[in-house]
Amino acid sequence: MKFEILNQPLHQTETDVKVVFVVKKDMSHLWIEDKESLELLGFKGESEETLFIPNNRTLYVGCDSLEADEIRLATAKTLESLQKATFKTLRIGTYSNECPKMSFMALIEGFILGSYSFNKYKSKKEPLNIEKVLICLDDYSNSNISMQSAQESLKIATVIAEATNFAKEIVNTTPHDMTPIALAEVAKTLSSLPNVTCKIMDEHFLQEQGMNAFLAVNRASVHPPRLIHLSYTPKEPKKRLVYVGKGLTYDSGGLSLKPSEHMVTMKADKSGGAAVMAIFKAAATLELPYEIHAIVGATENMIGGDAYKPDDVLVAKNGKTIEVRNTDAEGRLVLADCLCYAQELKPDLLIDMATLTGACVVALGEYTTGIMGHSSELKHTMQKAASKSGELSGTLPFNKYLEKLLKSSVADMSNISSSRYGGAITAGLFLDNFIEEENKEKWLHLDIAGPAYIEKSWGYNQCGASGAGVRMNLYWMLEENKQ
């Protein structure tokens, strides 16, 4: 799909179909030419409501407001409504609220996110027919955006949305095809970007580094583990940002075997790793002024004669010992060693991303990322960026009483809590044991277990992977760059 920005009114532009958004119950705007027909057919302009008028080839799409995420949703709904039509080109005006640039970005993101389709394994492909979108700088609210600002917004929004779709593609790919080695090969392709290097470390490196928790998780897999380290180093960077992602290309639960119905979506356990790679890709493409590192612990958690066991005691990279009481709490073991490795880079900001706990889904619901950490300011800025990006997030508080539930009688800590309650927080507190004191105020833990992969479409997200966490972190970087 190609975009073209035109500095001319919507009614002077010719395409196969015209798209008009209708703000709920507001039929007064001059772009709405079919008021009588809309009223006759009961169209009210409610969110996700659509109506096509054939005689003048106009698609009306309802939206509750002109907030950025409502624009993303209306734009994606546009493509869904035109999926089976044969139209090749469409035209649309711009829709601004308080920030024309943000609204314009939302429009582009909605088209790109909404156009994604995972058909890799389909024998019959059903591609979207829309090839070109003409965007007229003819604004619904008379809050004009300049051609220069529109072109800049188009570039940024395209990179962000395409990076999100890049993460979706990785997550949706089957565990047979996306093994730890295959994931490392994907990471290598990013080394073609300017100022980017990629290091792939194998099991021998992990042994040398004493990353025994990571290695234990991998023991029963026929696929060897890989530690992926991507680096982007521009001239005179403002800060050093280090991202760590959980890259479980498949998780059977190990000897603490998952029920069969819970195994079906476990290809999504690499969502954290996919997200940090996508964030890295977009930031390097946009040449943001930060030194950025993306670290992914790629492995499988399988069963076999050499599988790690409940009752094992593991020694992590920082020398702390972990009693294994449940082999299905494996992601935190991989992250523990990867976080120790990451801190050797002396980060100004350290963020880990993982589909870590079902408890986070219980706490916040399927669609929402859990944000945890020690710094209230850092949590607040990330939640604010998430809101601007359209991602849903909620903060979960650490407390000393939950921390006590990780105590072990035979090791420094247990890998699971002694209570069924507060599981998302106790998982975060487990990771906190591997954060050095000097980095605690610089660290955020993002549990994306809820939104990373859902087996139904929602909003502008298709069934399957959503690229959770990608947009919120890129919006955070863009906001920080303004400071």
Query: What are the catalytic residues?
Result: 258, 332
Give the DSSP letter of residue 452.
S
Q: Give the C-alpha distances (Å, rounded to integers) separating 434 from 331, 457, 478.
A: 14, 37, 29
Residue 312 to residue 59: CA distance in whole angstroms: 61
- Please report, as a single letter, which amino acid is at residue 119: N
Q: Are the beta carbons of 342 and 295 closer than 8 angstroms? A: yes
d(Cα 24, Cα 59) in Å, to the nearest integer? 15
Please give the structure tokens belonging to residue 453: 């992969």
Residue that is written with structure tokens 């696929």 in the block: 223
Compute the Cα dihedral for 154, 159, 163, 169 and give only its sign. Answer: positive
Report yes or no: 108 and 158 within 8 Å, Cβ to Cβ: yes
What would the two tokens of residue 86 be? 């044969």
d(CA 334, CA 430): 12
**Spatial contact of 61 and 19, defined as CB atoms under 8 Å apart:** yes
Report CA-CA distances (Å) from 476 to 236, 292, 302, 450: 20, 14, 36, 20
Tokens 């507001």 correspond to 26
Residue with tokens 């005689």: 55
Pull the structure tokens for residue 275: 């997200």
Distance, in Å, from the CA atom of 34 to the CA atom of 40, rounded to the nearest integer, reads 10
- Complete edge-to-edge strand list for the sheet that includes strand 58-63: 2-6, 132-139, 89-94, 17-23, 58-63, 50-53
Phi-psi region of 179 (alpha: psi -120 to 50; beta: other; left: phi over 0): beta
Please give the full DSSP string across 109-134, using - where no structure is assigned.
Answer: HHHHHHH----TT-SS-------EEE
Parallel, antiparallel, or unpaired: how do β-strands 313-315 and 392-395 relate?
unpaired
Query: Which residues, at least 6 apart from 203, have a Cβ–Cβ distance to it below 8 Å?
Result: 215, 218, 224, 225
Q: Give the whole-angstrom CA distance, residue 115 versus residue 329.
A: 35
